[in-house]
Amino acid sequence: MSEDSKDSKASSEKTRSRAVPTGRTGRALRVAGLAGRVAGSMLAEGTRQWRAGKRPRKRDLLLTPGNARRVADQLSEMRGAAMKLGQILSMDNGDFLPRELADILARLRSEATAMPEKQLEAALRRAYGKQWRREFAEFDPNPIAAASIGQVHRAVSHDGEELALKIQYPGIADSIDSDIDNIAYVLRVANVLPAHVDVEPLLDDAKRQLKDEADYLLEAEFLDDFQRILGDDERFVLPQLHRELTRENVLAMSYESGGPMESLARKPQAERDRVMSALVGLMVTELFDLAMVQTDPNFANYQYRYGTGEIVLLDFGATRRFEEGFVDSYRELAGAAIAGDTDAMAEAAEKVGYAVGDEDGEYRALLLELLLLVLEPLRHEGPYDFGASDMPERLATLAREAAGYADFWHAPPTDVVYFHRKVGGMFLLANRMDARVDANALMVERL
């Protein structure tokens, strides 16, 4: 058995089954129940600490190990926007959330449970009718992957081709608005989100983005677009869309085998550098050449063919199109950072949508320092050693300093949030691989 097939089998055997709550009322009750259990736990812990002569802070009572499990388990069970919002908050908004809660929510990037057979049957009947099995020569009822919006099954077409069917959980698309509103309300009441921060624009945009992700016909278009653009690039392998079998709640495509990207860590330095250079280069191409970025940095969306070195690209549901103005402004920001021109950086950052503060003010200087740090791999001449970088620690220190300024608590520009989500994912993967990438050369080509 190959390394790729072993990894795929292991992934399949880990999948668990649990019914997806459907209906807005039922899902809202789940969130309300979660809030009640967390509040009860906080009261009990607070009473215990008061009796011990301590004066606990509300945040400390909220962020207990027990509450961590309750939050992550409930969002994982609900899947859909509730789980996806947790994933987004954990990766993108460490500025807003306590580090402990961000770590709790980070569990959601790797945890998902499959729907039981009864719900799977209902989803397939919705897509193909009562005789849905006639559409396939074979269908494996055991999912090979489960995520926040749907799960993936292997099938075989009547002409013998192996297929991957991405099947959406029932009721997920209809619950996006209420899920996000309910979870945001619980976070606000628990004083996790600062009361003076207007996160509504970010939440509204998250709703739009998640509705796009739940639209499998739209994802089919994105897959087709990327296939046309990258189909001749020998470094990458993408699934082929099967439009005749694709429905609103089922995305049908060719099955492409591969192993976890983490298996690349066993390869020599030169191979790790080559693969990560290809992925960082693809990210730069997506924004500056295509204005179309697959914004979900989950490691599972990239697989590695151990024998050939090919990179398998999966899951284009989180693809986001960017306006030309944003792309141009971000290009200006990156160019100014590479040149070390802080005045030009401030001007470009304001165009991108940042609150830059008063000229010559302490906050503006701190914001520019933060942006210079985020763009450090692009500014570094020659290969940047991601494995040796302590950038996350330095960023956390600067963010804590910036948090004392009112301007800092403006909700970040939503386009920046989604692009930096991809940037953060690439950094984490390159760091995990101990890779060295000449990101500066890749960026300078676009200036």
What's the pLDDT tens digit per position in 311-338? 999 999 989 999 999 999 999 999 999 9
Which tokens go with 391? 């950038």
Of 97-101, 277-281, 389-393, the least confident: 97-101
Residue 234 CB contacts under 8 Å (≥ 6 apart), including other chains: 310
Give the pLDDT score at 288. 95
DSSP 123-139: HHHHHH-TTGGGG-SEE
Give the pLDDT score at 284. 96
Asked if residue 91 has pLDDT above 50, the reply is: no
Tell me the H-state helices in 93-246.
99-106, 117-128, 176-189, 200-213, 216-230
Residue 338 CB contacts under 8 Å (≥ 6 apart), including other chains: 375, 378, 379, 440, 443, 444, 447
Which tokens go with 85? 């919002």
Give the pLDDT score at 32. 52
In the chain, the percentage of residues whose pLDDT exceeds 70 is 69
User: Domains, the chain, ranges and CATH?
Assistant: 1-15+113-172+214-257 (3.30.200.20), 24-112+174-199 (no CATH), 260-447 (no CATH)
Q: How far apart are CA 292 and CA 161, in angstroms?
A: 30
pLDDT band at 94 (very low <50, low <70, confident <90, very high): very low
Q: How far apart are CA 174 and CA 168, in angstroms?
A: 12
Asked if residue 83 has pLDDT above 70, the reply is: no
Give the pLDDT score at 189. 62
Give the pLDDT score at 421. 84
148, amino acid identity: S
Asked if residue 299 has pLDDT above 90, the reply is: no
- The arithmetic mean of pLDDT across residues 34-60, rounded, is 53
Residue 378 CB contacts under 8 Å (≥ 6 apart), including other chains: 334, 337, 338, 439, 440, 443
- The arithmetic mean of pLDDT across residues 260-285, rounded, is 95
Give the pLDDT score at 102. 53
For the stretch 327-385, pLDDT in tens is: 999 999 999 999 999 999 999 999 998 888 888 888 889 889 989 999 999 999 999 99
Say which residue, 80 or 136, is predicted with more confidence. Answer: 136
pLDDT band at 12 (very low <50, low <70, confident <90, very high): very low
Say which residue, 128 or 170, is predicted with more confidence. Answer: 128
296 carries an active-site annotation: yes
Of 73-87, 184-198, 390-404, the least confident: 73-87
Give the pLDDT score at 67. 57
Q: How far apart are CA 442 and CA 282, in angstroms?
A: 10
The answer to whether 440 and 379 have CB atoms below 8 angstroms apart is: yes
Give the pLDDT score at 85. 56
Q: How far apart are CA 351 and CA 382, in angstroms?
A: 29
- The arithmetic mean of pLDDT across residues 245-249, rounded, is 95
- The arithmetic mean of pLDDT across residues 18-41, rounded, is 54
The answer to whether 29 and 49 have CB atoms below 8 angstroms apart is: no
In the chain, the percentage of residues whose pLDDT exceeds 90 is 46
Neighbours of 279 (CB within 10 A): 22
Average pLDDT score over the chain: 80
Asked if residue 38 has pLDDT above 70, the reply is: no
For the stretch 107-149, pLDDT in tens is: 545 455 778 899 999 999 999 999 999 999 999 999 998 777 8
The answer to whether 250 and 165 have CB atoms below 8 angstroms apart is: yes
pTM above 0.75, yes or no: yes
The answer to whether 39 and 189 have CB atoms below 8 angstroms apart is: no
pLDDT band at 9 (very low <50, low <70, confident <90, very high): very low
Q: Buried b / exposed e across 231-245, counting CB within 10 Å, b at 16+?
A: eeeebbbbbbbbeeb
pLDDT band at 72 (very low <50, low <70, confident <90, very high): low
Which one, of 215, 179, 151, 172, lies nearest residue 11 by Cα?
151
Asked if residue 202 has pLDDT above 90, the reply is: no
Give the pLDDT score at 263. 87
Give the pLDDT score at 10. 39
Give the pLDDT score at 418. 86
Of 48-62, 93-107, 302-316, 413-427, the least confident: 93-107
For the stretch 404-439, pLDDT in tens is: 666 665 666 888 888 988 998 899 899 999 999 999
Of 7, 92, 296, 438, the active-site residue reads 296
Q: How far apart are CA 446 and CA 428, in angstroms?
A: 23
Give the pLDDT score at 380. 96
Give the pLDDT score at 361. 84
Q: How far apart are CA 114 and CA 112, in angstroms?
A: 7
